[in-house]
Amino acid sequence: MKHILLVMTVLLLSACGYHLRGSFNLPEGLKTIYIQGASSPLRNALKQVLRSADATLVDNAKDAGLVIKVEKETMQRHALSLSVKGRANEYELSYSLGYLFLDSQGNVLSKTQPVEIRRDYFNDQEELLGKDNEEQVIRKEMYRQAITAMLNRSRIVVGKIAKLTPDK
């Protein structure tokens, strides 16, 4: 009875479209991606996301199904509030990214797309090491959120191209 219940649960979850958070099912045109002009943390995060989607980040634009050209990328940290001693109690991280899509020949497929992400967190003066780790986790999550936005937008662009291209 337990085995039947387990099998039924798995079948129901797969039938409703359930998938793990952060996993992607990419179309064939997005299985190989080249990213140009990105920071090392963004490139590493994209590599991890693509690996989980059975796709690869290639080293050459000619080998890519899609090229992502990063035109602007900034990560900034601002103090939101100060303690009596003048130390920051709260910080805001802001990440902005401007990118566009190209094909492997360098033809522009979309206009520049902006991504803006903001997060704030409390800075406990007693646990400085823990707060530094928290900031790194927040930064990684911001990169993943930007990648999710890029990949979702890339599906739309690739879908439009597929509709415009006649079948051979």
Q: What is the pLDDT of residues 104-150, one digit of tens each?
A: 899 999 999 999 999 998 887 676 666 668 889 999 999 999 999 99
Question: Considering the entire predicted model, what is its pTM?
Answer: 0.77
CATH number of the domain located at residue range(s) 27-164 in this protein? 3.30.160.150
User: What's the first-to-final CA gap in the chain, in angstroms?
Assistant: 51
State residue 162 phi and psi, 5-degree precision: -65, -35
Instruction: Please report, rounded to a whole number, the percentage of residues in the chain having pLDDT higher than 90.
Output: 50
* Domain positions in the chain: 27-164
Treating both helix axes as pointing N-terminal to C-terminal, what angle do 128-164 and 40-52 enclose, rounded to 10 degrees? 60
